[in-house]
Amino acid sequence: MLDIKLIRENPEKVQELLNRRSEEDYALQPILELDSKQRELETSRSQLSARSNEIGKSIGQKIRSGSDPKGAEIGALKAEGNEIKSKLSELEPQEKELKAQIDNLLLQLPNLPDESTPIGKDERENVELRRWGDEYLPQNGKILPHWDIGEKLGIFEFGRAVKVAQSRFVSLVGAGAALERALINFMLDRQIAAGYLEVMPPILINSNSLTGTGQLPKFAEESFKCQDDDLWLIPTAEVPVTNFYREEILDASLLPIYHCAYTPCFRREAGSYGKDTRGLIRLHQFNKVELVKIVHPDTSEAEHQSLVQNAEEILQALKLPYRIIELCTGDLGFGAAKCYDIEVWLPSSETYREISSCSNCKDFQARRADIRFKEAGKKGTQYVHTLNGSGLAVGRTMAAILENYQQPDGTVKIPEALQPYLKREIL
């Protein structure tokens, strides 16, 4: 959520930054108008309350000092009190309504892109920052897509998963399941060693949590909802883990907080019909190891860089070629101010595909979720900065291994670093 004070005091700047995202009309004017009405009401309302408090106090004093509670003097005060009460009963609902409207509008606004985020319309204007692992690019000509090799090896089951669920679900079988498990453990161990505290959060979460990280109210159709409860399947562990600290005031000495979490993730993938219909790339359910950081605002830039590194290290350990993309303003996610994607090489389609997305949300989620910190000796509180990134998407990592480690005879080598986890060298 954007700071209403910032919008109030600097509407042109806010407008300009929002416009960098897209040509959508972010109409700040209605917010400003509602805001000034609300403040007007608040001023008159609080003046009335002040008088009402005075009356209450003075009635109390008079009664205690012997005035007749049924007498004329107290009667007059009561009458005035009643008059104020009736005025307040008109003002209060109006003010409440205004606040709700303002809140509604604010919740719809995306984060401001960071000044350093490259300006661009869509993913075509993302900026490639660097590549890693060219020396590991597979050399042999014909590489089967991972779904074909997986099917040959008998490690996936698509048809039966569709039968028991729906399209865009998969079951891993035998070595496939073991490989998935091995990858999860491998990733977690690495991130724990890098200083992240592991969490296994709830996978069903309430609406407040989704609002806190920005998936609601705008993107309700992207998550699965349980009809009879205010509970949703998590689209990413970012949501429960960041919301761990919702409505808390943390002691500054606790920062930075680093968490990693393995969870399944559930996405409706509405609007992606016909895209990536085969394989492990785009599923309604997939596994992910997520990294979440809650940090002091002064350090969030550096924390962002190291977050990306932590995700990269997994690919480096697995010797999978990748590149780092800096998203342009037009491709930036709703809550992000700045975002780096890591894209892994998929030789069967000769493309780099997103395997991690590392965002700095700055204070945007912190405002929505009300996550603050207090520095000893300093008056008041400040909002933390929140960051998150995949470390990594497990299914896509498996796809990358199946393709990049494919051998001419149709077998797949297991990356060395993973062998101790899977306890075999070849699939």
- Binding residues (CB under 7 A) for RNA: these are 4-5, 39, 42-43, 45-47, 49-50, 52-53, 55-57, 59-61, 63-64, 69, 77-78, 81-82, 85, 89, 96, 249, 372, 374, 376-377, 379-381
Strand 257-266 with 197-198, pairing = parallel
Nearest approach in angstroms of CB 285 to RNA is 20
Task: Quote the CA–CA distance of 246 and 371 in Å, as a whole number.
Answer: 5
DSSP label of 409: T
Between residues 68 and 189, which has the closer beta carbon with respect to RNA? 68
Residue 5 · residue 32 · CB < 8 Å: no
Nearest approach in angstroms of CB 40 to RNA is 8
Task: Quote the CA–CA distance of 100 and 292 in Å, as a whole number.
Answer: 30
Between residues 47 and 104, which has the closer beta carbon with respect to RNA? 47
267 is catalytic: yes
E strand map for 219-266: 225-226, 231-233, 248-251, 257-266
- Count other Cβ atoms within 10 Å, centred on residue 52: 18
Residue 95 · residue 49 · CB < 8 Å: no
Nearest approach in angstroms of CB 156 to RNA is 27
Between residues 66 and 408, which has the closer beta carbon with respect to RNA? 66
51 is catalytic: no
Select which of 21, 267, 353, 372 is catalytic: 267
Task: Quote the CA–CA distance of 211 and 125 in Å, as a whole number.
Answer: 29
Residue with tokens 């997994």, as numbered in its chain: 314
Between residues 64 and 142, which has the closer beta carbon with respect to RNA? 64
Reading the block at residue 384, the tokens are 């933390």
Is there a cis peptide before residue 217, judged by omega within 30 degrees of 0? yes
Residue 397 · residue 344 · CB < 8 Å: yes
DSSP label of 413: B
Select which of 151, 269, 354, 375 is catalytic: 354
52 is catalytic: no
Instruction: List phi, psi (to 5°) of 285.
Output: -130, 130
Task: Quote the CA–CA distance of 35 and 11 in Å, as a whole number.
Answer: 13
Residue 308 · residue 293 · CB < 8 Å: no
Between residues 89 and 140, which has the closer beta carbon with respect to RNA? 89
Task: Quote the CA–CA distance of 324 and 309 in Å, as a whole number.
Answer: 10
Between residues 60 and 159, which has the closer beta carbon with respect to RNA? 60
Select which of 8, 131, 181, 282 is catalytic: 282
Nearest approach in angstroms of CB 176 to RNA is 24
Nearest approach in angstroms of CB 142 to RNA is 46
Nearest approach in angstroms of CB 68 to RNA is 12
Nearest approach in angstroms of CB 380 to RNA is 4
Between residues 138 and 202, which has the closer beta carbon with respect to RNA? 202
Strand order in the sheet with 382-383: 248-251, 371-374, 382-383
Select which of 52, 357, 359, 390 is catalytic: 357
Task: Quote the CA–CA distance of 390 and 260 in Å, as a whole number.
Answer: 9
357 is catalytic: yes
Select which of 326, 359, 396, 403 is catalytic: 396
Catalytic residues: 267, 282, 354, 357, 396
